[in-house]
Each structure stands twice: as C-alpha cells, then as structure tokens.
C-alpha cells in the first residue's frame, strides 16, 4: 500500500527528512518564485534569518516538535518572535505539502499587544520642534513635516499609500485623494482633504499635473520609500517613547474622526477597512468618552456642593 501511494505521488516512502537549513534553500527559492507581495518575501526572509540562529536551526524537519518550538528564545519584540514562528509554520506546511514530513506540529504564536500610542497634536508639535534643531540637508525638515501632516489627517498607510500619492489622483475640485492601490481590495477609496492637507498637497504639487507627489532619484521606484531615520532622530531629541512610530498617525486619525463624528462606517470607509474588528484596533475613543462623562458629572455636582 505504501509503494502504491508513493507511485501515485500521494504518500512518501521511508526516507530521511532534510535538515531545516537544507530545506530553507528550497523554501526561499519558492518564496522568490511564488506569487507573493514584496513585503511577504522580505518577511519570510527575515523570519528564516531569526530561525537560523536558534537551537532548531540545524535540526531535521521530522525532529522538530511542539516542545522544541515553544522552548525557543527569540530576542526582540513579540512581533519579531512571531515573524520567526510564522515563517517556521509556513516552512513546515510546505514540507508536508511536498511529502517531506508526515505532519506539522501545532504551536501557538506569542501574544502581541497592539499599538496603543497615538501621534496626537502634542507629539506632532514636539517632533517638529525637535526636527527643526536637527542638522539635516535642505528639504528634509519640510519633508518630515509634510509626511506627518498627511499621515495624521488622511490615515493613509505609510509605504503602500502615502509615499505613492500621484498628482493625477488628487481631485482639487472635490478636495479628495483617490487611493488606487492598497493592502486590501477595500483599500481603494476616496479620502477627503483637510485644509492643511490641501495646502501641503498644493505646495508639493506646484505646477505639475502628473507624477509622484514625493519623487526621489535615489529609489528605483522613483518615489519616496522611507523617512524612518529622520523620524527616529527627531523622536529621540523630543524624548518621546520608541514605541511611537509614524504608523501611530493612523491610530490617531481613526480615534479623532470617530470621536468627532460618531460614524464608524465613515471611518472604516476612509481608512479602507471592511472588518469592524480590524477597524476598532485603530480607534481608542473610549478613554476620552469616559473622561468627558466624569467631568460632566463633576460639573453638575459642583453647584449642589456650593
């Protein structure tokens, strides 16, 4: 029966499973040739780099157990550890699919705590004041300032959306930004321009009618790809926590708009969300509402106390 399964390609004969490093060559080759997003390729590449330094980095595939995985000591944050674990899980499932192992051990990911920080008005002011004291080349302060303003007032994703704004996608008459490509299908959307966003966009676009809003001759794609180094330098000078990243602007956008409008559907639409649970991760209005309710109750009690 085993011979018949092997001849039919549905079951392996007894043979020695490859080691994880040996299998990684085939896996990474598949990653490069498969229909995957560029970030996914980089994610799995980074995951294997993390795995290769652990105790299971040299083990045979069929010797890796649940206890081995759960006993791993991975440095860095929980998301960093989960990068390695998700990569290992994908590798083992591909090994099972290619009939190299009989089954994949089940193991859990590390608990991650989502970003709770918001890049609010106070943080923006501190960042820009600190950035103005940095000795950068001409135009870098204005670039960081404009990116922060756009990120806070549009809720756009940094690399996939904001850095890829094209002038032809700016509707000046209706004051909206069209996002033609995003992380999800629902990411194709229209985003209203606030007054200061409109001002930034007009200044950046100038007399141009087409092309990237943030052109760059340094990148192969022709547009800006990152402002991380300047953001981190300004953040350190402003004595702000390392957990505060540019993506926190998106959390701030969701919170502010929901608090002011109370319209979750509108917030989801402008942020490109379909799932309510996903949308609520970016919105933190509950503390403000509780604080307002407590203050209102206190104000009502003051005349009686007097």
Query: Is 241 a member of any domain?
Result: yes
For the chain, give the mean pLDDT. 85
- Please check whether residues 18 and 139 belong to one and the same domain: no
Check pLDDT > 90 for residue 123: yes
How far is C-alpha 234 from the chain's CA centre? Answer: 21
* Mean pLDDT confidence for 262-289: 72
**Number of domain units in the chain:** 2
pLDDT digits (tens, 9 = 90+) for 104-113: 999 998 876 5
Both tokens assigned to 66:
């649940």
Phi, psi of 179 (to 5 degrees): -100, 105
Query: Is 233 a member of any domain?
Result: yes
- Please check whether residues 127 and 79 belong to one and the same domain: no
- Please check whether residues 126 and 89 belong to one and the same domain: no
Query: Is 81 a member of any domain?
Result: yes
- Please check whether residues 13 and 138 belong to one and the same domain: no
Domain of residue 169, residue span: 121-285
User: Domain with 236 in it: what CATH number?
Assistant: 1.10.443.10
Q: How many CA atoms lie within 13 A of 73 on its CB side?
A: 1
Beta bridge partners of 178: 190
How far is C-alpha 60 from the chain's CA centre? Answer: 33
pLDDT digits (tens, 9 = 90+) for 233-245: 999 999 999 889 9
Query: Is 103 a member of any domain?
Result: no
Q: What percent of the chain lies above the pLDDT cut of 70?
A: 83
Q: What is the pLDDT of residue 44?
A: 94
- Please check whether residues 137 and 229 belong to one and the same domain: yes
- Please check whether residues 77 and 149 belong to one and the same domain: no
Yes or no: say if 190 and 173 are a contact pair by the CB < 8 Å rule.
Answer: no
pTM of the model: 0.66
- Please check whether residues 196 and 131 belong to one and the same domain: yes
Place of tokens 């505060």: 244
Query: Is 305 a member of any domain?
Result: no
Residue at a domain's end among 45, 63, 97: 97
Query: Is 297 a member of any domain?
Result: no
- Please check whether residues 75 and 220 belong to one and the same domain: no
Q: Supply the DSSP symbol for 13.
A: P
Closest CA to 1 of 110, 106, 10, 28: 10
């Amino acid at each position: 029966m085993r011979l018949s399964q092997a001849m039919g390609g549905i079951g392996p004969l007894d043979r020695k499973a490859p080691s994880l490093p040996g299998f990684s060559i085939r896996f990474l080759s598949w990653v490069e040739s498969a229909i995957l997003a560029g970030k996914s390729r980089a994610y799995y590449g980074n995951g294997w780099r993390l795995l290769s330094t652990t105790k299971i980095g040299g083990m045979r595939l069929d010797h890796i157990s649940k206890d081995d995985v759960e006993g791993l000591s991975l440095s860095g944050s929980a998301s960093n550890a989960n990068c390695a674990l998700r990569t290992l899980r994908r590798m083992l499932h591909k090994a099972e699919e290619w009939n190299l192992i009989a089954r994949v051990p089940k193991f859990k990911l590390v608990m991650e705590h989502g970003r709770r920080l918001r890049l609010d008005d106070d943080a923006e002011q501190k960042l820009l004041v600190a950035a103005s004291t940095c000795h950068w080349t001409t135009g870098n302060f204005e670039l960081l300032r404009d990116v922060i303003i756009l990120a806070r007032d549009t809720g756009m994703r940094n690399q996939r959306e904001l850095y890829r704004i094209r002038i032809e996608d700016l509707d000046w008459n209706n004051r909206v930004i069209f996002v033609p490509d995003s992380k999800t299908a629902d990411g194709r959307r229209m985003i209203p321009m606030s007054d200061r966003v409109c001002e930034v966009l007009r200044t950046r676009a100038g007399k141009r009618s087409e092309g990237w809003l943030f052109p760059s001759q340094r990148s192969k794609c022709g547009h800006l790809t990152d402002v991380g180094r300047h953001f981190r330098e300004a953040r350190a000078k402003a004595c702000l926590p390392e957990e505060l990243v540019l993506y926190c602007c998106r959390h701030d956008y969701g919170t502010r708009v929901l608090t002011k409008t109370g319209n979750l559907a509108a917030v989801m639409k402008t942020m490109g969300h379909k799932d309510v649970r996903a949308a609520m991760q970016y919105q933190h209005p509950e503390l403000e509402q509780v604080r307002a309710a407590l203050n209102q109750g206190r104000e009502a009690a003051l005349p009686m106390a007097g």
